[in-house]
C-alpha cells in the first residue's frame, strides 16, 4: 500500500484505500492509501504554520528559486520514469507523456527564473512628501485540485507558481491518477522544500476535495476539471470570500477557410481532436469547413483518421491510447449513439476497438460525424473523447455566430493563408486561446484562460506568480508636521 505525503511525512492515510489501474489492460499499478478528513486538517494546519514560518516567509526569492531549480533538475533526472508512470496511470501514449514531462521541467525552470527576476511595483509619488510603494505577499494555504487527463502538467503548473509566491500547497489529484502527484511530493522534498509546504492528499473529490476547500485556512482554490465541479467550487469560494482560478471544460471550434493549406489543416485538425484520445479540455471537437473545399477536406480527413495508430500506450509509435475507464468509454459511446439518433452520419470510427489485444482496455476508435448542425447535443456538450463533428459553412458572418454559439470559450483554431482574415476572425471568436494555422500549442510564458463557462482567472505567464499573491500598499510619510485636522482652532 502506497503511503501519502501529509504535513511533511510519508504515512498511510486514514481514508479508504484506492487503486491505480493501467487503462490499457486494467492491471493494477498500485494500491494507494487516501486521506481522511483528519488527515486533511493535519495537512492544512501544518501548511499554515509552514508558510508563516519566518524562515520561509523571509527567504529571498533566489533562495526559493534555488529549491525550484533543484526540483526541475530532479524532474529531468527522472524524466523517463515519470513519463512511464504517467502512461501507466492514465493510458496516454508514451510519446505524449514524455512531452508533458519536458514541459513540466521547462515550466519549473521558467517560474524559478521569473521569481528571481520579479520586481515589486513602485508607484509614482502622488502626495507631496509621502512615498508610496506596493509589495506582494503570499495568500496562505492554496488548494490545488487536478484532473486525470494530464496530471504532470496541471500539477506542476499550479504547485510551482504557488510555492514561488511563498504559499503552502495542498494538492488533491484525481482519484484515478494519484501516482504522479506522490512522485512530485518526493521530488520537492528531495529538492529541500521545507516540511508542510506541500502535502498530497489523495482520495475522492466528494470527500477529500470537499474537506480541503471548506477548510477555513484554505485561502485560494486553483482547480482544473469539469465545469460542473468548477461552478460548485466557485460557490464554496464565494461563501468564504476567497479567490479561485478555474480551468474548466471546452467545446472548441476549428474553422477551415477555403484558402487554407489543406495538408497542414487536415493534420492539425486530426492532432487537435484525436491526440490524448480527445481527453483534453482544449480538444478541437467542432469543425467548420468551407463549402468549397468540404468534400475534398472531409475525404482527406477520414482517410488519415483511419490510419491513426490506436493501441499500446507504451509503444513509441502509438498515437492514441485507451480512454481512462470503462465508464468514460460508455459515456463517449452514448454520445455517438445520440449523434446517430439526431441524424448524424458516422464517417469513421463510432465504435470501441477490440482487435489486437485491445479488448483488454477501453479503446475507442477516432470518430468523425457529419450531417449535424451546431445545435445538436453532441456539438453543445463536452464529450472529452475522440469524437469530431464536421459541418460545412459558406457565410462567414453566420460561421462566427455558430462558432461562438456555445456555453464554452476555451480555445479555437483557424486555418487560412489570409492573415487579415485570420486576425479579424481571431478577434471575433469568444475563446481564451486562438491558434492560427496550428493547434494545441502551449507555452508557460503565455497566459491560459477560459472565457464564458470555460473558466475564471488565468494560469501561466511571466507574472503568473502574482496570481498566487496579494498586494500590500505602503505609504511612508517623509514630513514631520502634525496633521492639521487635529489642531484646536
Ligand atoms: P473529471 O470529470 O475530469 O473527473 P471533476 O471536475 O469531477 O472532473 O474532477 C476534477 C478534480 O476535482 C478531481 O481531483 C476530483 O476528485 C475533484 N473534485 C470533484 N468533485 C469535487 C468536490 N466536490 N470538491 C472538491 N474537489 C472535487
The topology (CATH level 3) of 4-248+454-474 is Aldehyde Dehydrogenase; Chain A, domain 1 (3.40.605)
Ligand 1 atom 20, closest CA: 205
Q: How far apart (Å, rounded) are the C-alpha atoms in residues 380 and 471?
A: 40
What is the model's pLDDT at position 123?
Answer: 78
Ligand 1 atom 2, closest CA: 226
Q: Give the nearest ligand 1 atom to 147 CA.
A: 10
Which ranges of the chain have pLDDT less than 50? none
Residue with cell 496633521: 483
Q: Give the nearest ligand 1 atom to 145 CA.
A: 14
Distance 105 CA to ligand 1 centre (A): 25
Instruction: Indicate which residue of 155, 175, 189, 281 is catalytic.
Output: 281
Q: How would you classify the pairing of strands 448-449 and 458-459? A: antiparallel
Q: How far apart (Å, rounded) are the C-alpha atoms in residues 211 and 17?
A: 17
Ligand 1 atom 25, closest CA: 209
pTM of the model: 0.97
Distance 290 CA to ligand 1 centre (A): 38
Enumerate residues lining ligand 1, CB below 6 A: 145-147, 172-175, 205-206, 209-210, 213, 225-226, 229, 232
Instruction: Indicate which residue of 247, 382, 453, 459 is catalytic.
Output: 247
Retrieve residue 485's grid coordinates. Answer: 485636522
Ligand 1 atom 23, closest CA: 206
Q: How far apart (Å, rounded) are the C-alpha atoms in residues 160 and 413?
A: 29
Which residues, other chains included, contact 169 with Cβ-Cβ below 8 Å and sequence gap of 6+?
47, 141, 142, 143, 144, 158, 159, 162, 163, 197, 198, 199
What is the largest distance, in Å, between two alpha-carbon atoms of the chain?
96
Distance 248 CA to ligand 1 centre (A): 11
Distance 225 CA to ligand 1 centre (A): 6
Per residue in 73-132, pLDDT (tens digit) is 999 999 999 999 999 999 999 999 999 999 999 999 999 999 999 988 777 778 889 999
Distance 148 CA to ligand 1 centre (A): 9
Is there a catalytic annotation at residue 114?
Answer: no
Phi, psi (5° rounding) for residue 272?
A: -65, -30
Per residue in 403-418, pLDDT (tens digit) is 999 999 999 999 999 9
Q: By the 8 A CB rule, do 26 and 322 touch?
A: no
Question: Alpha helices of 91-245 — where are they, by DSSP H?
Answer: 94-117, 151-164, 179-190, 210-214, 227-240
Distance 235 CA to ligand 1 centre (A): 14
Residue 260's Cβ-side half-sphere holds a number of Cα atoms within 13 Å equal to: 30
Region label for 216, one of left (φ > 0), alpha (ψ between -120 and 50) or beta (otherwise): alpha
**Best probe residue, ligand 1, of 207, 225, 231, 384 (max atoms within 8 Å of C-beta):** 225
**Best probe residue, ligand 1, of 145, 150, 325 (max atoms within 8 Å of C-beta):** 145
CATH class entry, domain 253-436: alpha beta
Per residue in 123-152, pLDDT (tens digit) is 777 888 999 989 999 999 999 999 999 999
Distance 203 CA to ligand 1 centre (A): 10
Is there a catalytic annotation at residue 486?
Answer: no
What is the chain's alpha carbon radius of gyration, rounded to the nearest angstrom? 24
Q: Give the nearest ligand 1 atom to 228 CA.
A: 6
Q: Give the nearest ligand 1 atom to 148 CA.
A: 3
Domain ranges in the chain are 4-248+454-474, 253-436
**Best probe residue, ligand 1, of 174, 208, 213, 453 (max atoms within 8 Å of C-beta):** 174
Which residues are registered as beta bridge partners of 26? none
What is the model's pLDDT at position 128?
Answer: 86
Q: Give the nearest ligand 1 atom to 204 CA.
A: 16
Distance 59 CA to ligand 1 centre (A): 34
**Best probe residue, ligand 1, of 205, 245, 248, 453 (max atoms within 8 Å of C-beta):** 205
Q: Give the nearest ligand 1 atom to 226 CA.
A: 6
Which residues, other chains included, contact 222 with Cβ-Cβ below 8 Å and sequence gap of 6+?
142, 143, 144, 145, 158, 162, 244, 245, 459, 468
Q: Give the nearest ligand 1 atom to 230 CA.
A: 6
Amino acid at each position: 500500500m502506497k503511503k501519502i505525503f501529509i504535513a511533511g511525512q510519508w504515512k498511510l492515510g486514514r481514508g479508504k484505500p484506492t487503486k491505480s489501474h493501467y487503462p490499457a489492460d486494467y492491471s493494477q499499478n498500485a494500491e494507494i492509501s487516501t486521506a481522511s478528513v483528519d488527515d486533511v486538517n493535519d495537512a492544512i494546519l501544518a501548511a499554515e504554520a509552514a508558510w508563516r514560518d519566518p524562515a520561509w516567509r523571509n527567504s529571498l526569492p533566489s533562495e526559493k528559486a534555488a529549491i525550484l531549480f533543484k526540483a526541475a533538475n530532479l524532474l529531468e533526472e527522472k524524466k523517463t520514469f515519470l513519463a512511464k508512470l504517467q502512461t501507466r496511470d492514465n493510458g496516454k501514449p508514451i510519446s505524449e507523456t514524455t512531452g508533458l514531462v519536458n514541459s513540466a521541467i521547462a515550466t519549473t525552470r521558467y517560474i524559478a527564473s521569473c521569481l528571481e527576476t520579479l520586481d515589486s511595483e513602485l508607484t509614482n509619488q502622488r502626495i507631496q512628501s509621502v512615498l508610496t510603494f506596493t509589495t506582494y505577499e503570499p495568500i496562505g494555504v492554496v488548494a490545488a485540485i487536478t484532473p486525470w487527463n494530464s496530471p504532470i502538467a496541471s500539477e506542476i503548473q499550479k504547485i510551482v507558481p504557488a510555492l514561488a509566491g511563498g504559499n503552502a500547497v495542498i494538492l488533491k489529484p484525481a482519484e484515478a491518477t494519484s501516482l504522479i502527484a506522490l512522485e512530485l511530493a518526493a521530488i520537492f522534498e528531495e529538492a529541500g522544500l521545507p516540511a508542510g509546504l506541500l502535502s498530497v492528499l489523495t482520495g475522492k473529490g466528494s470527500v477529500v476535495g470537499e474537506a480541503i476547500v471548506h477548510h477555513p485556512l484554505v485561502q485560494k482554490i486553483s482547480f482544473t476539471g469539469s465545469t460542473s465541479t468548477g461552478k460548485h467550487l466557485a460557490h464554496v469560494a464565494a461563501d468564504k470570500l476567497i479567490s479561485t482560478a478555474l480551468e474548466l471544460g471546452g467545446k472548441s471550434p476549428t474553422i477551415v477557410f477555403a484558402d487554407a493549406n489543406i495538408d497542414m489543416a487536415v493534420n492539425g485538425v486530426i492532432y487537435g481532436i484525436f491526440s490524448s484520445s480527445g481527453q483534453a479540455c482544449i480538444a478541437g471537437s467542432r469543425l467548420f469547413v468551407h463549402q468549397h473545399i468540404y468534400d475534398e477536406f472531409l475525404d482527406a480527413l477520414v482517410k488519415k483518421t483511419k490510419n491513426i495508430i490506436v493501441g499500446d500506450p507504451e509503444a513509441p509509435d502509438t498515437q492514441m491510447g485507451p480512454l481512462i475507464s470503462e465508464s468514460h468509454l460508455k459515456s463517449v459511446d452514448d454520445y455517438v449513439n445520440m449523434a446517430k439518433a439526431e441524424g448524424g452520419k458516422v464517417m469513421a470510427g463510432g465504435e470501441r476497438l477490440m482487435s489486437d489485444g485491445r479488448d483488454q482496455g477501453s479503446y475507442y476508435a477516432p470518430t468523425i460525424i457529419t450531417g449535424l448542425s451546431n445545435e445538436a447535443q453532441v456539438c453543445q456538450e463536452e464529450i472529452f473523447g475522440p469524437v469530431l463533428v464536421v459541418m460545412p459553412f459558406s457565410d462567414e458572418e453566420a460561421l462566427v455566430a455558430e462558432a461562438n454559439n456555445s456555453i464554452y470559450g476555451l480555445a479555437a483554431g483557424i486555418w487560412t493563408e489570409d492573415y487579415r482574415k485570420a486576425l479579424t476572425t481571431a478577434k471575433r471568436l469568444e475563446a481564451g486561446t486562438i491558434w492560427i494555422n496550428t493547434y494545441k500549442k502551449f507555452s508557460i510564458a503565455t497566459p491560459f484562460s477560459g472565457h464564458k463557462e470555460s473558466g475564471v482567472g488565468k494560469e501561466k505567464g511571466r507574472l503568473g506568480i502574482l496570481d498566487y499573491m496579494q498586494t500590500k500598499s505602503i505609504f511612508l510619510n517623509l514630513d514631520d508636521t502634525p496633521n492639521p485636522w487635529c489642531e484646536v482652532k
